[in-house]
Amino acid sequence: MNNNLEQSMFEEFSNACRKAGLKITPQRLAVYQCLAKSKEHPSAESVYQQVKKVYPNISLDTVNRTLVTLAKVGLAFTVEGSGDAKRFDANFDGHQHFKCLKCKKIVDFYYEPFKDIELPEKLRRKFEVVRKTFYLEGYCKDCKRE
């Protein structure tokens, strides 16, 4: 990652933390950077394995709580799933997800018509929708062949 991107990532992180009244700790930053740089939609366990290389005393519980906190302050979100370990994403560009039911890989895809799905009037009256997601499950090319 280039320096400008790293700087902008840090500014986004620090602004969100300040706004939420959170301390900016090296461990919290490391968890956010690991998530933001990942294209894999990692679980807490996966982030933990990466972060503990730099902070060997960090616990899985701390990483998990930090990821949940990042989602609460708008720096990440949980990729919805079907009962597996929570997976996280820090990419807020309008995209959708495909999850392979066999290997559990989650892949981003972009399909313009899904971006602006119209909500039924009945829902618009009852709820305030803050984010729309589109999520597909099936079998990836490799698992489909098996």
Per DSSP bridges, beta strands 96-100 and 77-79 are unpaired
Give me the CATH topology for the region 3-87: Arc Repressor Mutant, subunit A (1.10.10)
Domain edges within the chain: 3-87, 93-145
Which of 81, 82, 100 has the alpha carbon at shortest distance from 140?
100
φ, ψ (nearest 5 deg) of residue 8: -65, -35
pLDDT in tens, the chain (146 residues): 567 767 888 888 999 999 999 999 999 999 999 999 998 899 999 999 999 999 999 999 999 999 999 999 999 988 876 567 788 888 877 888 898 999 988 888 888 888 778 888 988 899 988 777 788 889 999 998 76
Domain 93-145 CATH class label:
alpha beta
